[in-house]
Structure formats: C-alpha cells, structure tokens
C-alpha cells in the first residue's frame, strides 16, 4: 500500500473538531450537546444576503475573476473606509474563507524551512497551515495570569533568527479574546520594521471589540505599509461561515501578484458566496449593532458565571467571542472526551428567572419553528486548549470555549459543566 506524505502524517488534528465523533455518538444516544467548542454563531444571516441568494436569476453559475468579482471588492473597499483604511479594490483579493487567505499567504511569502513567529495560544489552524506549507513555527507564549497579553519585545527578539520571515497575530485574538493595545501594536511595528519582516494580521473579529475604543488595524500602522498582510473574512461578521468568503489585503504589489497567481491556480472563489457577501456590506448597520450588543451581553454573563464555578478561572475577553479558561483538572482533553463518552446530566432544574433567549431581528429566517427532540440528558463540548499551543505540554488544563449560544443555553451549559467537573473529580 502506498504511504501518505510526511507532511500529511504530521498535520495535527484540529482541537476544535477532533472530538466530534464522540459528540455525534452522544447525540445518537439521545444526549443534548451544548457546543462551546466551535465559533459557529447561532445568529441569523442578514436578510439582505438571504434575499440576494433567493433572487439569483443567472442561467449559468460561472467562474468569477480569480481575485473576486469587481462588485464585491468595491463593497469591501467601502467597508474598510468606515474604519479609516483607504484601500483600492485591487488591493483586496477575495478567497474561499479566511483560511484560504492564510494558506495562500503562507505559500506566497515563505519557502520551506522559513520561520514564522506566532503568539501562543493561537488559532489551531495556524499550526496546520504552517505544517502544510513546510514552515517552522517559533512560538512566544502569552500567559493566562496576565490575561494573555502580548509577550515582551525581548521575547520576540529571542525567537527571531536569520530564517524568520514574519510575525503572525490575531487581533482580537482567537482563542483568548485578547485585544492588543496601541502600545503593543506599536511594539510589533518596531520589530517588523527593524528586522524587515512581514506582519500577517488576522482581523476576522474586528467588529467584536468591547472596550469602546476605536479598532486599530495593522493596515494603519505607519512605516510598515509594505510589510502588512491582513487576513479577513465575513464568516463571523455576518454569520456567514458557510458561504466561504474571506480576503487577503495588502498594499504590497509583489505579494498581491503572487497571491493572484495562487488564486488563478484554484480558479475562482465561490460565486454564490460572493453574491451574498456583497449584499451584506451596506445597509446592515442595525444588524451589526444588534449582533454586537448580543455578543457583549453573552460575554458579560458567561465570563461572570464561569468564574463562579469552583476551581475555574477565565480572564475577561475584550474582543471576539472566545475565552481560554483554566479548569481544575490535570488533562483537559481527557475531561472533554469524558464529558462526551461517560457523562450525562439528567437533573431538570426549574428556575424562577426569565432570560431573554437571544437576539431578535425584524426579518427572521423563514421556515417553521424547530421542535426540540426528546433528550435523555445533557453534556457540554469544549476544545482542549493544548492544541492551540505550539509548545508541547502547555495548556494541558485549559479549554477554549465559544460563547456563541443564546444566554439560556449558555446558562444551561454552565450548569452542566459545573456538574461534570464535580462528578469527574469525585470518581
């Protein structure tokens, strides 16, 4: 039998999805699973996008331009101007989600054996894409004790070698929800300028900043305009994970030309997704405000109640809709798996409290109301945080959780988690 490649064998499993078979088996047994493992928003997609899809009257669903339709890139250019970022549509390359933007950027900017510096914990697929592209990841570690703040300039300098080509950040951060301060971004700018590196900035969660301060994009950092590549996506911004529309944005012409060649090789980004995304940019300000308010309310509730569970600690995230929490267990992956294979919460607690069940839109999604099936009990699914670290042994007692469920479900999930920890540690 032929052997698969060393690259394929070395590719790490996603900590977000690796326990999915156990979750599906639990559901098959009649257990309700609260999914805190994945950043899949439960909020409806903008009605404008849905209507644009329903109104398609094309006879042929054809290829688009490899870098995306001119109409969509023009809409994205208008969008960035609302953040004070002046971009020509040609400086925006549309991709099949932010994931393709990142992988294409890696293939464009690195040769096999080159090094990229990331902060850990970081988005797990950074490690997968780096492995696929033949890169060496050098990690600088942020710590839960100080809220996962950016490591010092000295820590970054220790990681820089002659083979270092880039620093990769996510701001606001997935998985921690940390938001980099202006001072931290200026620190990165100086490092990038001093060592002539690329700064790859994943800004997918730009909309979800809870500090009240204006968002600072890497594209606005003076003096490194040619060094910056921004990875972006509409997936979380408009609850459109399934349309697979992202973008790579840069003022560096050589990078854009190389990125375009990779995009030509994969032909074109999804046509239907581009139609939906273009319809989502303008006229959805109220939608975006309602989404923001809902996620902020979920964050405030979830983090407050999470920290009331004995032995659990989570810093308060300032952005995105994730947190990394420390649990009172030695091995969080074993605990997360146990929750799906061995644990089923069956107590039916009554409460006198009446909670809002989530965001309300003037134009809800069409279709009949979903009827909840009968369940024998409940459990919770989380993502073991060790998979978000590049350094072996770190994050063993931590999990990433996404507060993308409505508050009633978050409340129930926390009740289940509290019971699961008590039962696990009493075995």
pLDDT for position 348: 58
pLDDT for position 360: 41
93 touches 249 (CB < 8 A): yes
CB-based burial, 241-270: b 16+ in 10 Å, e otherwise: bebbbbbbbbbbeebbebbbebbeeeebbb
Residues making up the chain, counted from first to last: 427
User: What are the Cα distances from residue 37, in Å, to 267, 302, 383?
Assistant: 33, 14, 5
407 touches 356 (CB < 8 A): yes
pLDDT for position 377: 95
Other Cβ atoms less than 10 A from the Cβ of 51: the count is: 12
- Within 8 A by CB and 6+ apart from 340, the residues are 19, 22, 23, 25, 26, 33, 379, 381
The DSSP symbol for 96 reads S
Helix (H) or strand (E) holding 325: strand 322-326
Joined together, the tokens standing for residue 420 give: 């699961």
274 touches 245 (CB < 8 A): yes
| Phi, psi for 49 (deg, rounded to 5) | -70, -45
List of domains in the chain: 6-45+285-425 (3.90.1150.10), 47-281 (3.40.640.10)
pLDDT for position 355: 40
Long-range contacts of 109-113 (CB under 8 A, 24+ apart): 109/165, 109/166, 109/198, 109/200, 109/229, 109/255, 110/134, 110/135, 110/165, 110/166, 113/163
Which segments in the chain show pLDDT lower than 70? 348-373
pLDDT for position 349: 45
Phi-psi region of 110 (alpha: psi -120 to 50; beta: other; left: phi over 0): beta
pTM value?
0.92
pLDDT digits (tens, 9 = 90+) for 248-282: 999 999 999 999 999 999 999 999 999 999 999 99
d(CA 310, CA 415): 12
Q: What is the largest CA-CA distance in the chain?
A: 63
């Amino acid at each position: 039998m032929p052997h698969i490649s060393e690259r394929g064998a070395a590719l790490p499993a996603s900590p977000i999805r690796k326990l999915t078979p156990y979750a599906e088996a639990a559901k098959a047994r009649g257990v309700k699973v609260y999914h805190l493992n994945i950043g899949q928003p439960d909020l409806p997609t903008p009605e404008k996008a849905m209507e644009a899809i329903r109104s398609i009257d094309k006879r042929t669903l054809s290829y688009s331009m490899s870098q995306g339709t001119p109409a969509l890139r023009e809409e994205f250019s208008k969008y960035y101007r609302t953040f004070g970022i002046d971009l020509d549509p040609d400086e925006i390359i549309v991709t099949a989600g932010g994931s393709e933007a990142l992988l294409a950027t890696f293939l464009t900017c690195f040769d096999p054996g080159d090094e990229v510096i990331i902060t850990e914990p970081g988005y797990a697929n950074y490690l997968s894409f780096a492995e696929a592209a033949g890169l060496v990841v050098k990690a600088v570690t942020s710590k839960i004790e100080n809220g996962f703040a950016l490591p010092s300039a000295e820590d970054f300098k220790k990681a820089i070698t002659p083979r270092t080509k880039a620093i990769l950040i996510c701001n606001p951060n997935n998985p921690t929800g940390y938001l980099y301060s202006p001072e931290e971004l200026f620190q990165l700018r100086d490092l990038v300028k001093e060592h002539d590196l690329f700064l790859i900035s994943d800004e997918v969660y730009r909309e979800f900043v809870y500090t009240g301060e204006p968002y600072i994009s890497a594209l606005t950092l003076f003096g490194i305009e040619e060094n910056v590549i921004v990875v972006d996506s509409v997936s979380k911004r408009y609850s459109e994970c399934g349309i697979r529309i992202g973008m790579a944005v840069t003022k560096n012409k050589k990078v854009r030309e190389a990125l375009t060649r990779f995009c030509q090789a994969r032909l074109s980004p999804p046509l239907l997704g581009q139609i939906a995304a273009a319809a989502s940019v303008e006229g959805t300000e109220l939608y975006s405000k309602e989404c923001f308010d809902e996620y902020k309310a979920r964050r405030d509730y979830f983090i407050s109640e999470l920290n009331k569970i004995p032995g659990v600690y989570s810093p308060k995230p300032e952005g995105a809709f994730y947190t990394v929490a420390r649990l009172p267990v030695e091995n969080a992956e074993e605990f997360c798996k146990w929750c799906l294979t061995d644990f089923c919460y069956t107590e039916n607690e009554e409460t006198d409290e009446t909670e809002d069940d989530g965001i309300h839109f003037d134009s809800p999604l069409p279709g009949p109301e979903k009827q909840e099936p009968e369940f024998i009990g409940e459990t919770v699914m989380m993502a073991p945080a060790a998979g978000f670290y590049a350094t072996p042994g770190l994050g063993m007692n931590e999990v990433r959780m996404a507060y993308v469920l409505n508050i009633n479900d978050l409340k129930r999930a926390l009740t289940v988690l509290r019971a699961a920890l008590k039962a696990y540690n009493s075995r």
